[in-house]
Amino acid sequence: MNKQQIPVIVLAGFLGSGKTTLLNHLLHRSGGSRIGAIVNDFGSIEIDAMSVAGQLGDSTVSLGNGCLCCAVDAGELDEYLDRLARPSAGIDVIVIEASGLAEPQELVKMLLASENPHIVYGGLVEVVDAAEFDATRGRHPELDRHLGIADLVVVNKTDRVPDEERERILGVVRGLAGRAAVVAASFGRVDVELFFDRAPVGERVGQLSFDDLRDFDEPRDLDHPSDLDAPLDHEADGDHEADGDHHDHLHSAYESLSFTSEAPMEPRSLMALLDSRPEGLYRIKGYVDFGAADPRNRYLVHAVGRFLRFYPQPWAPAEPRLTQLVLIGSGIDVRTLEKELEACRTYAPQADEHGMWGVLRYVQEPDDHPDDQPAGRPDAQR
Ligand SMILES: Nc1nc2c(ncn2[C@@H]2O[C@H](COP(=O)(O)OP(=O)(O)OP(=O)(O)O)[C@@H](O)[C@H]2O)c(=O)[nH]1
374 lines ligand 1 (CB under 6 A): no
pLDDT surpassing 80 at residue 137? yes
19 lines ligand 1 (CB under 6 A): yes
Mutate to test the pocket of ligand 1, among 21, 154, 328, 372 (most ligand atoms within 8 A of CB): 21
For residues 93-113, average pLDDT: 87
pLDDT surpassing 70 at residue 375? no
pLDDT, position 179: 81
For residues 340-350, average pLDDT: 83
Q: What whole-number distance in Å separates Cα of residue 172 and Cα of residue 165?
A: 11
Percentage of residues in the chain having pLDDT higher than 90 = 43
Helix (H/G/I), strand (E/B), else coil: 382 = coil
| Predicted confidence (pLDDT) per residue in 252-294, tens digit | 778 889 999 999 999 999 999 999 999 899 999 999 999 999 9
pLDDT surpassing 50 at residue 234? no
Q: Which atom of ligand 1 is nearest to the CA of 300?
A: 27
Which pLDDT band, with edges at 50, 70 and 90, does 36 fall under? Answer: confident
pLDDT, position 230: 29
pLDDT surpassing 60 at residue 299? yes
pLDDT surpassing 50 at residue 21? yes
The helix, strand and coil proportions of the chain, stated in percent and rounded to the nearest 5, come to: 40, 20, 40
- Yes or no: say if 140 and 27 are a contact pair by the CB < 8 Å rule: no
Mutate to test the pocket of ligand 1, among 14, 20, 27 (most ligand atoms within 8 A of CB): 20
pLDDT surpassing 90 at residue 302? yes
Distance of CA 23 to the CA centre of its chain: 9
Residue 250: φ, ψ to 5°: -50, -40
377 lines ligand 1 (CB under 6 A): no
21 lines ligand 1 (CB under 6 A): yes
17 lines ligand 1 (CB under 6 A): yes
If one compares 288 and 112, the residue with the highest pLDDT of the two is: 288
If one compares 295 and 53, the residue with the highest pLDDT of the two is: 295
For residues 309-331, average pLDDT: 93
pLDDT surpassing 60 at residue 27? yes
Q: How far is the CA of 239 from the centre of ligand 1 (A)?
A: 32
Which pLDDT band, with edges at 50, 70 and 90, does 311 fall under? Answer: very high
Instruction: Tell the residue nearest (CA) to atom 5 of ligand 1.
Output: 187
Question: How buried is residue 331: exposed, middle or buried, by Cβ count under 10 Å (0-12/13-18/19+)?
Answer: exposed
Q: How far is the CA of 16 from the centre of ligand 1 (A)?
A: 5
Indicate the average pLDDT of the chain.
Answer: 78
Q: What whole-number distance in Å separates Cα of residue 353 and Cα of residue 372?
A: 28
For 173, 279, 348, the CA distances from 179, given in Å and listed in that order, are: 11, 35, 58
For residues 23-32, average pLDDT: 83
For residues 362-377, average pLDDT: 55
- Yes or no: say if 327 and 42 are a contact pair by the CB < 8 Å rule: no
Domains in the chain: ranges and CATH: 6-251 (3.40.50.300), 254-366 (3.30.1220.10)
Q: What whole-number distance in Å separates Cα of residue 155 and Cα of residue 188?
A: 9
Q: How far is the CA of 334 from the centre of ligand 1 (A)?
A: 23
If one compares 325 and 242, the residue with the highest pLDDT of the two is: 325
pLDDT, position 243: 41
Helix (H/G/I), strand (E/B), else coil: 154 = strand
pLDDT, position 321: 95
| Predicted confidence (pLDDT) per residue in 44-96, tens digit | 666 666 667 555 555 666 665 566 666 455 677 888 888 888 888 888 889 99
329 lines ligand 1 (CB under 6 A): no
pLDDT, position 351: 64
If one compares 74 and 126, the residue with the highest pLDDT of the two is: 126
pLDDT, position 102: 84
Which residues fall within 8 angstroms of residue 212, CB to CB, at 6 or more apart?
149
Which pLDDT band, with edges at 50, 70 and 90, does 336 fall under? Answer: very high
The pTM of this model reads 0.79
pLDDT, position 194: 67
Instruction: Tell the residue nearest (CA) to atom 3 of ligand 1.
Output: 157
- Please tell me the number of Cα atoms within 13 Å of 282 on its side-chain side: 21
pLDDT, position 101: 86
Please count the other Cβ atoms lying within 10 Å of the Cβ belonging to residue 117: 10
pLDDT surpassing 70 at residue 187? yes
DSSP string, 117-138: TTEEEEEEEEEEEGGGHHHHHH
Q: How far is the CA of 270 from the centre of ligand 1 (A)?
A: 21
- Yes or no: say if 268 and 276 are a contact pair by the CB < 8 Å rule: no
pLDDT, position 103: 86
pLDDT surpassing 60 at residue 231? no
